[in-house]
Amino acid sequence: MRSHELIREQLLQWMLGEMPDLPASDLLLHLAECSDCRHYVLQAHEVMGTFPQALQPIKPPSDLRVRILQAAAKDPGSETAFSNPHHPTESLDEDLTEDATIEDASINVGRDIHQNFREKALETPRGDRENGLVLRPGFEAFRPGIDDRSAGLEREKDKGEAKESKAKSPGARLGQRLLQPLRELLREAAQRPGVAWLIGLVAVLVIGGNAALSWQLSSELRRNDMLTARYNQDIQWLASAERLLIDETSPAMRADLVPTMEGFNGPTFVEEAPGQITGPKGKAALFDAYQSVGYLLVRIEGLEPASSYTLARRTDTTYERLGTFTTDDQGVGSYVYRAEDRNSLYLPAQLHIEHESTGRLVAHGLLE
């Protein structure tokens, strides 16, 4: 286990608005187990809250109070806006600037959308490449939500400007010139039925092809918008250091993952000395997120390096593959499973870690 000092330095880094160097899942799992570090986080939160008192107080403008109260009077407030500031469901666009203080692009969540954004994040100059995390938003950093919204506004502005300049732009004049032969062809076709039929067929093919492409494009855009919105929602939640460090440090369920001692695959541990058993071992913790969403975090070491493993959940009557992860060159792997319906995970169940290619059960633990 890593030293508490190291973990605390990472936690402070996180609380100060930067993504830590260690994977977020490691820190959360440590917090889940360590009440001293949880207490440390709460205390550091309080102490850092006093730091501004060390400053010479500055008088705000006298009308600021009035402006705030006027804005509040116009705002429906917490009752009708959204129940969770970290995770809005309706007013997503309005809340894009809310609490987006740290961008955690991905913590090895096994979903394509996270992978896409992770790749995008890795291209940014401030990306923490090693962990695939993005630091506090910088000048050029990837800022899901805020930048997307700005880009959206820019796009809208561009659209309006384009409309205005359309009639007189050089492009429009060029288009007119290119359409001229087509007009002449149509005029000729009106006089010759054979040519008209051919042109009609071509037109149908072209228009049909375009329509199919347009439909495909618009459905892709819609899907992209939906995934972006959903991703932004996730980010909103993941992004908040307070949320993660203060609100979510106690898992709803947990499991110790240990090597299998018996069963159809035989033991996976090695007895190096009497009583000294080595083999894969790790921890899992289920955290409540928001609404019905939960996150199951798993970290295990002692596996084969650079190998793929499957995380599965087994009850007396069910077997569910939750996802696959790949270990690093030290044989350490972690996985974050996002459960849309976290209630389905609340029943005690065995978590299985299985070698992906052989199906061999290498570690297990009771999630309860």
Residue 31 CB, nearest approach to other proteins (Å): 13
12 vs 199, beta carbon nearer other proteins: 12
Helix (H, G, I), strand (E, B) or coil at 367: strand
Minimum Å gap between C-beta 103 and other proteins is: 11
Q: Which of 22/285 has CB closer to other proteins?
A: 22
Question: Of 264, 357, 367, whose CA–CA distance to 304 is shortest?
Answer: 357
Is the Cβ of residue 101 or residue 326 nearer to other proteins in the bound state? 101
Q: How far is it between the farthest Cα atoms of the chain?
A: 100
Q: Could you give the CA distance from residue 306 to residue 329 in angstroms, rounded to a whole number?
A: 5
DSSP state of 59: P
**Residue 109: DSSP 8-state:** B
Measured distance CA(248)–CA(252) in Å, rounded: 9
Percentage helix, strand, coil for the chain under 3-state DSSP, each rounded to 5: 45, 20, 35
In this structure, what are the phi and psi dihedrals at residue 322, rounded to the nearest 5 degrees?
-90, -25
Q: Smaller CB distance to other proteins: residue 94 or 271? A: 94
Of the pair 249, 268, the CB lying nearest other proteins is at: 249
The answer to whether the beta carbons of residues 284 and 252 sit under 8 Å apart is no
Contact (Cβ atoms closer than 8 angstroms) between residue 186 and residue 199: yes
Do you know the residue count of the chain?
Answer: 368
Q: Which is nearer to other proteins, 58 or 273 (CB)?
A: 58
Q: How far is the CB of 102 from other proteins (least distance, A)?
A: 8
> Minimum CB separation from other proteins for residue 51, in Å?
6
**Where along the sequence are the contacts to other proteins (CB under 8 A)?**
5, 8-10, 12-13, 15-18, 42-61, 64-65, 67-69, 71-73, 75, 77-79, 81-86, 97-101, 135-139, 146, 241-242, 246-247
Which is closer to other proteins, CB of 16 or CB of 185?
Answer: 16
Closer residue to other proteins, CB minimum distance, 83 or 315: 83
Q: Least Å distance between CB 12 and other proteins?
A: 5
CB of 45 to other proteins, least distance (A): 5
Question: How far is Cα 306 from Cα 246, in angstroms, rounded to an integer?
Answer: 34
Minimum CB–partner distance for residue 243 and other proteins (Å)? 9
The C-alpha angle with vertex 356 and arms to 317 and 252, in degrees rounded to 5, equals 50
Rounded Cα–Cα distance for residues 360 and 202 (Å): 59
* Least CB distance to other proteins at residue 93 (A): 14
Closer Cβ to other proteins, 42 or 211, answer by number? 42
**Contact (CB, 8 A) for 347 and 243:** no
Other C-beta atoms lying within 10 Å of the C-beta of residue 139:
6
Question: Least distance (Å) from other proteins to the CB of residue 88?
Answer: 9
Between CA 62 and CA 128 the distance in angstroms is 42
Q: How far is CA 337 from CA 108, 147, 191, 333, 366, in A?
A: 9, 27, 68, 13, 16
